[in-house]
Structure 1
Amino acid sequence: MSDESCLLIADIKENKKSGDKFKAVGLLATAKLKKDKNDKPYWDLTIMDASGTLNAKAWSDSKWWDARCGEKKFLTLDELAEMDCISKQPVGIFGVVSKFKQKLQYHVNQVYLLDSDKYPPESFVEKSPVPVEQMETDFWEIVGECGDPIQTFLLQLFSGSLWEQFKIAPAAVKNHHAYVHGLLEHTLDVTKSARSIGVSYLKKGLKIDMDVLTAGALLHDIGKLEAYSIDLIPQITLQGAVIDHIPLGYSIFMEHAKKYALDEETALAIGHIIISHHGKKEYGSPVLPSSPEALIVSAADELDFLIYCWDAASPTDDLALSEYNGLAQRRFWKS
């Protein structure tokens, strides 16, 4: 297929309305064969490029073509099912936008499997919009503003292979910062917000331990290093599925606190931030935040999630309201 007039995923989601057609080239991140209510097969697809991710459906009448060898060959459903894996393949798609129950849906009419040499899969991997070099600089400047023993502890913990893993890792499989460098971006946003809030309360005379607050913010999602992995696309690990990132993060932190002899009082204060940062037990926190530092980090974490959801949402009606976001429990106003 010709690359002319192909759109980025972000352009499709932001600018295309119901009834509009679209054409794009991206990475087929996932492809799941399902049955509709009439027992007809269809494909539930996730297509991504460097600008974002599109969830779409290819119904039973959609056409699939193998164009990897330069000439397109029609693929039957049986042939697709017999292929080892059609996900993580570069694809070209033709589709149309529709609306169902006030939600925009993306229907793919034609899918072309493309040559990986001409369209390298890694070129479609979504990354943080913030340059990683800038985020690294910001991270180490924040660490440098801490006093000991916390500064030395953070320098020891965020070293070697753990730092290399941390700066690449996603913050989620979907919903927010689910891309390369996403964990670093989210961590910095939470930490900067938390520190600003902490300073405002310090000026009021409240007793806020800024070093504990900073360390807790930088470490609040450290468990995601074991909860998620990334191989072109973010994926949940077995540990992430059956244990979750909060207890995993507390375990990682306590292991390093003992390894680097962090004093028990400081370790308890930081550990409480990590274990309580989701704010409510129904959100996955084993305990509720009960120190000012933990309350601030929890609020900053929730705010960053909601701001990300608002930014990623698109208006679907004349009131400029987005589709209902189940996790955020609201529609977003995109005036």
Structure 2
Amino acid sequence: MIKDFKENTRIKEQLLVASSTTGVTTAGSRYLNILLQDVSKQIDARKWDATDEDVEIFKAGNVVEVEADVIKFRNDLQLKVLRGKVCNDDIDPTNFVTSAPVSKNELQAKFLAYVDNIKHPEIAAIIKEVINDVFISFFNYPAAVKNHHDYISGLAHHTVTMLDLASSICDIYPDLDREILYAGVILHDIGKIEELSGSVLPKYTVKGKLLGHISIMQAKVYEIANRLQINSEIPILLQHMILSHHGKYEYGSPVLPLTKEAEVLSMIDNLDAKLNTINKALSTIEEGETTHRLFSLDDRMFYKPTKNKK
């Protein structure tokens, strides 16, 4: 693993190419500036005198068997790549990118239990139509390219955490419509499966760039309701929750939350996203230190308290 690399050693490891750009030295020879990663961390690498074959091998997204010397450059470890070979055998993505801290089996069990708690026939029918189409992808995809829940199964982890929050809030506020709220939580981010390209090094698809996950999901619920001939206000309430869940116009919602359930959805989405972002940053520092500035939290730097508070 990259975290175990030592200076002045030679390694031969399967690593994921996170990014790769071409440069030219002052002498006119081509080189590759590569960012490699495994589940433990990332490391910069250089391939000098790069050939056309090297450019193809070290394309972003490829898993490559890398042979390289570990050197130190400006106080950080770096790889001087000698050669690489694309790995075409079955690749376990969890060796190269982080995954949710909860297993897929546990996420599936909890998610399906919440789905089973939705008894209203029209709500249940819409939810069933949506999840049947995306079930496998839902438990593989991240919830974002970066920032919150940007790891394998991040979308499901975010959704199930929000369902747990929704359940507790409904216990405290029994006047809330539990089934509508559960449905809103389940639906609100599923459009990201079409917005993003996949579970490993995701990028925005053309549909994601031009429509976005909010519009994608609202249109899907509208289509399903029409096809199933659901003429009640249920589809309108669900579409409203999808459209308003970012909470503010400037955050990407075309409408503001105008039902209690839509307001709660927006609040718990924001809560879980922010805490996940903070926890991710805190996990990289020691007690008594502060994080880097977190753009999604007003560029604030968060302090990690010491366990011994004396």
TM over 0.5: yes
1:83 aligned residue: 56
Question: What letter is aligned with 2:135?
Answer: W
Contact preservation (8 Å) 1:90, 1:121: no
Q: Secondary structure at the match of 2:36?
A: strand
2:162 aligned residue: 190
Aligned length: 292
2:260 aligned residue: 292
Residues 262, 164 of structure 1: CA spacing in aligned structure 2 closer, same or farther, 3 A cutoff? farther
2:129 aligned residue: 156
Q: Secondary structure at the match of 1:264?
A: coil
Residues 223, 315 of structure 1: CA spacing in aligned structure 2 closer, same or farther, 3 A cutoff? closer
User: 1:263-302 CA deviation, whole Å, 9 max, x = no partner?
Assistant: 4311111111111111111111111212111111111111
Q: Secondary structure at the match of 2:296?
A: coil
Q: CA deviation at 1:33?
A: 3.7
1:334 aligned residue: 304
User: Mapping of 1:61-210 within 5 angstroms?
Assistant: 62=46, 64=47, 75-77=48-50, 79=52, 82-83=55-56, 85-87=58-60, 88-90=62-64, 92=66, 94=70, 108-111=78-81, 113-117=83-87, 121-123=91-93, 124-126=95-97, 127-149=99-121, 150-159=123-132, 161-202=133-174, 207-210=175-178
Q: Secondary structure at the match of 1:179?
A: coil
Gaps of 5+ in 1: 1-5, 13-18, 65-74, 100-105
2:21 aligned residue: 32
Contact preservation (8 Å) 1:125, 1:233: no
Residues 274, 118 of structure 1: CA spacing in aligned structure 2 closer, same or farther, 3 A cutoff? closer
C-alpha distance in 2, partners of 1:260/1:125?
42
C-alpha distance in 1, partners of 2:138/2:44?
33
Q: CA deviation at 1:85?
A: 4.8
User: 1:9-64 CA deviation, whole Å, 9 max, x = no partner?
Assistant: xx89xxxxxx9x9x8753113223479xxxx9986644332x3663x544xxx4x2
Q: Secondary structure at the match of 1:217?
A: helix
Structure 1 residues 114-123 or 185-194, which shifts more? 114-123
C-alpha distance in 2, partners of 1:302/1:113?
45
TM-score by length of 1: 0.74
**Structure ranking higher in strand proportion:** 1
Contact preservation (8 Å) 2:183, 2:238: yes
C-alpha distance in 1, partners of 2:71/2:247?
41
Q: Secondary structure at the match of 1:47?
A: strand
C-alpha distance in 2, partners of 1:325/1:226?
27
Structure 1 residues 291-300 or 167-176, which shifts more? 167-176
Q: Secondary structure at the match of 2:203?
A: strand
Residues 90, 271 of structure 1: CA spacing in aligned structure 2 closer, same or farther, 3 A cutoff? same
Q: Does residue 48 of the first structure (1) align with residue 24 of the second (2)?
A: no
Contact preservation (8 Å) 2:57, 2:85: no
Among 213, 233, 247, the residue aligned to 2:181: 213
Residues 85, 45 of structure 1: CA spacing in aligned structure 2 closer, same or farther, 3 A cutoff? closer
User: What's the Cα RMSD here?
Assistant: 3.5
Residues 333, 174 of structure 1: CA spacing in aligned structure 2 closer, same or farther, 3 A cutoff? same
